Amino acid sequence: MSHETLGDALPREMARVRDVVMPAYQEVGNVGVFALHCMRRDLDAAAKALAEGDVVAMIQAYQALKEWDT
């Protein structure tokens, strides 16, 4: 049985938000602008956490991204 690491899960979650969730919010126009801003903030935080190897920040970013849905 393989176990997914946070280092694997976080980039996958970042891609899901960027490639699946954000386009859905972009389609609704002005209604989705604030949510898109918040998603970008969460994606930036995730990228920073990964770059710095900050495990606590990576966990927080992963949880924040998991909350976004279409």
User: Domain extents for the chain?
Assistant: 7-66
Please spell the DSSP secondary structure of the chain, one letter per residue: -----HHHHHHHHHHHIIIIIHHHHHHTGGGGHHHHHHHHHHHHHHHHHHHHT-HHHHHHHHHHHHT---
Dump pLDDT digits (tens) for 5-60: 999 999 999 999 999 999 999 999 999 999 999 999 999 999 999 999 999 999 99
pTM > 0.95: yes or no: no
